[in-house]
Structure 1
Amino acid sequence: MGTGTALAVDPDVVTCTLAPRYEAVRTARDFARTTLLQWGLGDLFDDVALVASELVTNALRHAIGEPTAAELRSCTGSSRLALPAQPGPAQSLDSRLPIRISLVHRSPQLVCAVSDPSSDGPVTREADFVAESGRGLHLVDSFSRSWGWHPLAGAGKVVWALFEADEASAVDLERSTDPASPGRHRRSA
C-alpha cells in the first residue's frame, strides 16, 4: 500500500493514514482493493475506488491546498508531488493533521469515510460538464447509495459514502481475482 498505514482493531473496520501527496489517491484505491478482496466484496471495488478517489482528492485539494505553479514546475519529471510541509495561504495550521480513509463493513452495508483537517463542509457545485473539475461530489452521489459529512470534535471533518454490500451479490475472492471471469455490469438507476 505504499505510504499509508493500515490499522485494524475490529476486522470489519479498517483505516489507512495517507501522506499529504497526490499519490495518496492511488494508495487509497490500493487500500480499498485489498480490503474489499479480503472481505469477499471485490465486486464493489469499481464504485468504492471511484468514490474514494474523489473524496481523497477533495481532501488533498481543499483541506491541504492546491499546489502552486512553482511547486508543479519544480517536480516536473518527478513522479512524486509533495505538498508543502508549512501551511501556505490556502492552508491553516490544522492542515498538518492527517488525512485518513476508513472502510467499515456492517452487512449488508459498507461505508467509505475520508477524514481531513478542514472543518469546511463539501459544497456540491452546479455540474459543468466542460470544466476539468467540479463534478466529484456528483460522482460520489451517483455511485453510492447516499453520502454526507460530519464535523469532528475540535477541528476537521469526515465525509462518508454508503454502499449496499449484501452477501448475495458479493463476488468471492477467487472469482474476483480470476481474469477469465466475466466483466462487471453497472446497476441501472
Structure 2
Amino acid sequence: MGTNGSTMLEPLRQGLPPIDPAAVSSSASCALPARFEAVRGARQFTKATLGQWDLSDRFDDVALVVSELVTNALRHALPADTPRESQEPPVRLHLMRWTSRLVCAVRDPSHAGPGAGAGESDDAPFPDPCGAAESGRGLFLVDSFSDSWGWHPLAGTLHGKVVWALFRLG
C-alpha cells in the first residue's frame, strides 16, 4: 500500500492490532459521556493510568492520540439524536499494556469506518465549527504520533466499532 495522498489516512489494517490478547499485562477502561468534557476526562484517565504503569514519559503522545480518537467518536459516531445524558455512555476508552506495546482503543456505536464522514450534518450533536475533522487533521495526528492504527467492527451482541492506536514501548 503506497503513501500517496488518497491512502495516507487509511488505517494500516482493518482488524485487531498485532498483539496477543492473552499476553496483556495491564488494562484499564472508562466509559465516557456524550459530551465534549469527556475528552478532558479521557486525558485525565490516561494520565493516571500511564502514571500507574510507569509510562508517564509517553503521556504527551498518547494523550494527543486519545484526545483525537475520543473527539472523533463524539463528533462523528454518535447519531444526532443521542441524548447527552444517556443511561449507557456510548463511548468507552480502553488502555492495554503489554511488555513492549501500549494500545489505546476507543469503542463507539457507529459501524462507519474512521474518516468515512459518519454523522456529518448540520444537526450532528457535536458540530465542528472550524472544519478540522473534515480535513482529516485528527486522523493525520493519530497516524503521525502512533506506531500504527486501525479499526474493526464489533461482533456478537455489541454494536459499533473500535478504533485503536498502537505505541511501541522501550
> TM-score, length-normalised on structure 2?
0.69
Asked whether the 8 Å contact 1:29–1:49 carries over to 2, the reply is yes
Matched, 1:99 2:91: yes
Q: Which residue of 1 aligns with 2:132?
A: 132
Asked whether the 8 Å contact 2:33–2:89 carries over to 1, the reply is no
Question: SS of the counterpart of 1:57?
Answer: helix
Among candidates 158, 164, 167, match of residue 168 of structure 2:
164
Structure 1: runs of 5+ lacking an equivalent: 1-9, 68-82, 88-95, 167-189
How many Å apart are 1:64 and its aligned residue? 1.5
- Distance of 1:132 and 1:57 partners within structure 2: 11
Q: Which residue of 2 aligns with 1:84?
A: 83
Q: Which residue of 1 aligns with 2:55?
A: 41
Q: Which residue of 2 aligns with 1:147?
A: 149
Q: Which residue of 2 aligns with 1:58?
A: 72
Moved segments of 4+, more than 6 Å: none
CA 1:27/1:140 → structure 2, altered by over 3 Å: closer, same or farther? same
- Paired AA for residue 149 in structure 2: W
Asked whether the 8 Å contact 1:97–1:117 carries over to 2, the reply is no
- Distance of 1:144 and 1:115 partners within structure 2: 18
Q: Which residue of 2 aligns with 1:23?
A: 37
- Distance of 2:67 and 2:168 partners within structure 1: 19
What is the identity percentage for the equivalent residue pairs of Structure 1 and Structure 2?
56
Asked whether the 8 Å contact 2:31–2:89 carries over to 1, the reply is no
- Distance of 2:153 and 2:90 partners within structure 1: 15
- Paired AA for residue 132 in structure 2: E
CA 1:101/1:86 → structure 2, altered by over 3 Å: closer, same or farther? closer
- Paired AA for residue 159 in structure 1: V
Which is richer in helix? 1
How many Å apart are 1:131 and its aligned residue? 5.1
- Distance of 2:79 and 2:47 partners within structure 1: 27
- Distance of 1:119 and 1:131 partners within structure 2: 22
Asked which structure has the greater CA Rg, the reply is 1
CA 1:46/1:106 → structure 2, altered by over 3 Å: closer, same or farther? same
Q: CA RMSD in A?
A: 2.5
CA 1:47/1:124 → structure 2, altered by over 3 Å: closer, same or farther? farther
Work out the number of aligned pairs and report it.
130
- Distance of 1:22 and 1:86 partners within structure 2: 12
CA 1:124/1:136 → structure 2, altered by over 3 Å: closer, same or farther? farther
Q: Which residue of 1 aligns with 2:114?
A: 122
